[in-house]
Structure 1
Amino acid sequence: MNLHSHILSKHKLENVGENKIKISSKIHECTKCTYLTANKSAYNNHIKVCLKLKNVEWYKCQICQFRTIKKSNLTKHIKTHTKIKDLKCSFCHFQCNGKQNLDNHILRKHSHLLNENNKNIITSKIHYCKYCTYKSTMANILTSHIKT
């Protein structure tokens, strides 16, 4: 999905063809990084943060555009490219990268095995659906669940 398609689907703008210039003029682009948005308020908030970080050392991914001010975040990110699965499930043969992914797996597949002795194995925050028993360690996944 390109940026114009995203804006049309998520921000309810119409007629990309006729309004291409109009839509482009509503896209605010940070000159210090790769941030883009159609929301002026979000752009202004971003600029305040980005300018504060101007003199900060950035850690950049050599494979994609990702960058961060935390080396540990870059280390985690690089695993998404290398497919390194350094975390193992205590209950089965499942392997993944990212503690949140492992916690979500345990929550989905093995919640019936959690008890007082091992309930602290999940360290991520758990998000609960207010409409059913669904739960997830990832807020965006819960949001998708609620929308469907």
Structure 2
Amino acid sequence: MSVHLILDLDSEVPIYQQIRDRIVEAIAARQAKEGDPLPSTRQLAADFGINFHTVNKAYDLLRQQGVIRINRKSGAVVRRDADSGPPEAPFAEEWEERMRVLLAEATVHGLDREDVLRRCAALLDGFGSGT
């Protein structure tokens, strides 16, 4: 993978979740495509000075979500890229539930509809999928 992951080791967000999120973002931004290899768990752990089980947890989560595949010979490889077509039904339903919470948080903190839509559009544009 030709992407540099940036983690905040002091964040309240667990490191495994940050790894998972940065890899998904890299795929969405087309910095990593289907078939691209990911660093080994041991290499990524060494790069960040973290336990390899933390990286393993992130990779396992990505595998369960169908984003990567893990093979003993080739290691972790991107399974889907941003152009893979429509999502599977269970993903869409789970995503909608997570989005519901994020939109509720935005509403509670006073963001109006136009601001939420503007921010969403800007983020999608950053992933090259604003059309």
Higher helix share: 2
Q: Do these two structures clear the TM 0.5 threshold for a shared fold by scoring above it?
A: no
Q: Which has the larger radius of gyration?
A: 1
With the length of structure 1 as denominator, give the TM-score of the two structures: 0.25
Using CA pairs under 8 Å that are at least 6 residues apart, name the structure with larger relative contact order, 1 or 2: 2
